A and B are shown apart, each in its own frame.
Chain A
Amino acid sequence: MSPDLHAEARRQIEICNACRYCEGYCAVFPALMRQTVFADGDITQLANLCHNCRGCYYACQYTPPHEFALNLPGILAEVRQDSWERLAWPAPLARRFHESGVALAGALIVGIALIFLALTALRPASGEGFYAYLSHGAMVAIFAPAFLMPLAAIGVALGRYWREVGGGALRLRHLRAALGDAARLRNLGGGQGQGCNFEIEDRFSDRRRRAHQALVLGFLLCFGATSAGTVMHYLMDWPAPYPLLSLPKLLGVPGGMLMVAGAAGLVHLKLRAERELGSARVWGGEIGFILLLGIVAATGLALMAFGGAVWLALHLGAVLSFFLLMPYSKMVHGFYRLAALAADARAREARGSADAAD
């Protein structure tokens, strides 16, 4: 635990609990108003529930230069960031990549180099499309563990998170509620759908939410494209390359384009936003992460358009580093946020039945 961060967050949360003006913006305030005493785990949960919409910063009469010096989005971002680094497994890797875009770029280069090496060392005698450069077997041998091991690491971290925040017994309906909130990014909506206060200070805008939704939808489409390819390869005995009017391409092309557009949008907005209302320490790592996602998508599109060993290496290298970095980069935010939303759905329900019992 980080005593200083949690103590400062507690100080600010207690002021909010005496004020409550921001109760309508997001799930954080109703959650904090259910309590009067805040254990460290409660604060970690509130921090991961916060979507950094910044509504409660610009609406707050106590922001600096007021002596109460409130910056709730800022301190919650620090606590959240700290929790991702602290709970990661193994933890020392995490801090480096979270903070530094340069470290991410380094990882990207290493990933690409590894693929180049594989290409030259394992070049198959025959094969079509990109399998002409790297056999299907070799690809699976590299990517299956590169995907599953990080997922296992994330699983460990989420288990630690759940224990820290006292998540309790999870039901499917809590997860459903969480997925619904995540899909709509309800907590970036300002409480009434007007959006957040990210890139134009105290004016509301829904652009950040839209850009994020484009990115995630694109990501899911690309994921769907890869899954469709896998199914076609194994179950239908139909290996790549696929024609334009096939599921992998129908999903992958718009998916890649959405991802590029979403990532470009997020970078654009992030350059305009005030850094101190997030975790300024990791700004570089966050930009690096958005760019990495953009590069994954852009190189995939280029590979489809132009083919060739170079694009293949660039794309597979980017995907490889993205996978390996999942537990140690901003990518974990999706997992933690889902967990926080699910825990909140459960807490709301528990509270509801307590009220009914009164």
Chain B
Amino acid sequence: MARPDDLDGPWDVVVVGGGNAALCAAITAAEAGARVLILESAPKAMRGGNSRHTRNFRCMHRAPMSVLTDAYGEDEYLDDLMLVTRGKTDEALARMTIRESEDCLPWMEAHGVRFQPSLSGTLSLGRTNAFFLGGGKALVNAYYNTAEDLGVRVAYQAEVTHVGIEAGRFSHVVARIGATERRIEGRAAVLASGGFQADLDWLTRAWGPAAANFLIRGTPYNRGVVLRDMIEQGCETVGDPTQCHAVAIDGRAPKYDGGIVTRLDCVPFSVVVNREARRFYDEGEDVWPKRYAIWGRLVAGQPGQVAYAVIDAKARELFMPSVFPPEQADTVATLGERLGLDGAALAQTVAEFNAACRPGRFHPTEKDGLATDGLTPPKTNWARPLDTPPFYGYQLRPGVTFTYLGLKVSDRAQVQTPQGPLENVWAAGEIMAGSILGEGYLAGFGMTIGTVFGRIAGREAAAHVA
């Protein structure tokens, strides 16, 4: 933690947040000659927000580039985005982001990020997504080192509670540093403090009481304090304030920060039941990468926001290993009891499911059409009877990745008010991602938005103070 007197400045650019977007902005501004201060609310050991949990970013390229194979053009990229957002995007901003992503990769390498060929088990992303060697925390570390070498000052455990705007101009922030509240002045501000998903009260107000049972996949520090402060000061917003991106994860995951390892890929090969041991949705609707996002909502809609995936021994090796070992038993009924369910009811559900399975070719990696017959809801692919002990069970809960509500920005990342843009305030990353990602999620696009807008914000802020 910084000694308070180190932070007096004067600062050209005050960067709020310490994740990918913040670091890209700070590095860009410092390289342009600005005196930059980063205020990160997490302690050093937990710095880097949700960015520390990431593994790749999605990058347009016209020819093979670094670890990326083949080509991935602007139109194809945009089509992919249109598909997941169902058109809820600002096409001009989206196109600009996509085009800029091509320059990001060499810039990232030049600033210490290392890439590796796509991780095993994710070969389908090898063309579109560049994976970070060591994952997002390695990226964050590299950026902090680069920033430090450029003379950027970083204060940890420094939570910004208020952004001072006077007559349309940013003048200072108020930050809680350790036990003291301080006013820190600056000539420009970059807001890169993420979404509000870690504020469970806010989430509950937006979503309803069920949200209290949600797990937060990323950092506990993204509580939307700055976002709310800016909204209260009249800034324009984008994105559905009631929605969040949620996936079904291992129910035993920690409340916060469980990250990537808590994902469970077993659903397509399972019978999934709710607390009453009843099925509620087609587990085999599509391949898992295309369906995992809807299961967050599905589980959130069940009583107690919990569900249970049951497989038999045949399926055990078909998906990535889980971080916690599953419950296990030699009969379905016993497994049910171990999971805390009514064992007889689970056995009944599985028996009905088994009776509805038909013979046919099973193919784990593509839609195989192996569907149940006369069952509601049906399972339309990968429907094989659960008949080979031991049986395994996993508890599922909704895990929130991020929220959609954000600050509206221009294509130069300037924060908007009904009276026009704030002269010297820029925003980057999740705090403004709703402008482009109004719904759904495209793997690797969060880091693309943060990198593109972080660099723009840093550049514009530095130009403003120059």
Residues of A whose CB lies within 8 Å of any CB of B are: 14-15, 17-25, 33, 36, 55-56, 58-68, 191-192, 194, 202-203
Q: Does B61 contact A (CB under 8 A)?
A: no
A254: shortest Cβ distance to chain B, in Å?
35
Q: Which of B114, B133, B135, B145 contacts A202 (CB 8 A)?
A: B145
Asked if A25 contacts B259 (CB within 8 A), the reply is: no
Question: By the criterion CB–CB under 8 Å, are A18 and B321 in contact?
Answer: yes
Contact partners of B259 in chain A: CB under 8 A: 19, 61-62
Q: Which residue of A lies closest to B262 (CB)?
A: A18
Contact with A along B329-365 (1 / 0, CB 8 A): 0000000000000000000000000000000000000
Please state if A18 and B322 are interface contacts (CB–CB under 8 Å).
Answer: yes
Most buried by B among A20, A55, A61, A66: A61
Contact among B46, B119, B257, B323 with A23 in the assembled complex (CB-CB below 8 Å): B119
B127 at the interface (CB under 8 A from A): no
Verify if B116 is at the interface (C-beta below 8 Å from A). Answer: yes
* A/B interface sample: 8 pairs, CB < 8 A: A18-B261, A19-B135, A20-B119, A21-B135, A23-B119, A58-B134, A61-B137, A192-B133
Known contacts: A14-B323, A22-B134. The answer to whether A61 contacts B53 by CB under 8 A is yes
B:80-132 near A, CB below 8 Å:
114, 116-117, 119-121, 132
**Is B136 in contact with A61, judged by CB distance below 8 angstroms?**
yes
B interface residues (Cβ-Cβ under 8 A, vs A): 45-46, 52-53, 55, 114, 116-117, 119-121, 132-138, 141, 145, 254, 257, 259-261, 263, 317, 320-323, 325
Known: A22-B134, A58-B134, A59-B137. 18 other contacts (CB 8 A): A14-B325, A17-B321, A18-B320, A18-B321, A19-B260, A20-B119, A21-B132, A22-B135, A24-B116, A59-B135, A59-B138, A62-B259, A63-B45, A67-B254, A68-B254, A191-B133, A194-B114, A202-B145
For B144, the closest partner residue in chain A by CB is: A202
Q: Which of B45, B133, B260, B320 contacts A65 (CB 8 A)?
A: B45
Cα distance A192–B114 in the bound complex, in angstroms: 9
- B145 to A65, Cβ gap below 8 A? no
Q: When chains A and B are docked, how far (Å) is the Cα of A203 from the Cα of B145?
A: 7
Alpha-carbon distance between A17 and B317 when the two chains are bound, in angstroms: 13
Are A21 and B114 within 8 A (Cβ)?
no
Cβ contacts under 8 Å, B263 to chain A: 18
Select A20's contact among B46, B121, B136, beta carbons within 8 Å: B121
**Is the beta-carbon distance between A61 and B323 smaller than 8 angstroms?**
no
Task: State the CA gap A67–B141 with chains docked (Å).
Answer: 21
Which B residue's beta carbon lies closest to that of A63?
B45
- Chain B proximity of A258: nearest CB distance (Å): 31
A21 and B260 contacting across the interface, CB-CB below 8 Å = yes
Q: With A15-B323, A36-B317, A191-B116 in contact, is A61–B135 under 8 Å at CB?
A: yes
Determine which residue in B55, B321, B322 has the highest number of CB atoms from chain A within 10 A of its CB, and name it.
B321
For A18, list chain B residues within 8 Å (CB). 260-261, 263, 320-323
Nearest CB of chain B from residue A16's CB, rounded to whole Å? 9
CA distance A24 to B55 in the complex (A): 12
B134: which of A36, A59, A63, A68 is its contact (CB, 8 Å)? A59
* The residue from A20, A25, A62, A64 contacting B133, defined by CB atoms under 8 A apart: A25
Q: How far, in whole Å, are A327 and B120 apart by their CA atoms in the complex? A: 39
Cα–Cα, bound, A24→B118 (Å): 10
Residue ID in chain B nearest A21 by CB atoms:
B135
Which residues of B sit under 8 angstroms from A20, Cβ to Cβ? 119-121
Q: CA–CA, A355 to B254, complex, Å? A: 36
Inter-chain CA distance A194–B325, complex, in Å, is 36
A56, A194, A203: which has the most chain B beta carbons within 10 Å?
A: A203
Chain A nearest Cβ from B369, distance in angstroms = 23
- How far is it, in angstroms, between the C-alpha of A55 and the C-alpha of B138 when the chains are bound? 9
Q: How far is the CB of B390 from chain A (nearest CB, A)?
A: 14
CA distance A15 to B135 in the complex (A): 14
Residue ID in chain A nearest B257 by CB atoms: A66
Inter-chain contacts of A192 with B (CB < 8 A): 114, 133
Nearest residue, chain B, Cβ from A23: B119
Contact B321 A36 (CB under 8 A): yes
Tell me the minimal C-beta distance from B178 to chain A in angstroms: 17
- A17: nearest chain-B partner, CB-CB: B321
Chain B residue numbers with a CB within 8 Å of A202 are: 141, 145
Q: Which residues does chain B contribute within 8 Å of A55, judged by CB atoms?
A: 134, 138
CA distance A190 to B325 in the complex (A): 30
What chain B residues lie within 8 Å of A191 (beta carbons)?
116, 133
Contact B257 A15 (CB under 8 A): no
B52 to A61, Cβ gap below 8 A? yes
How far does the Cβ of B51 sit from chain A's closest Cβ, in whole Å? 10
List of B residues within 8 angstroms of A68 by Cβ: 254, 261
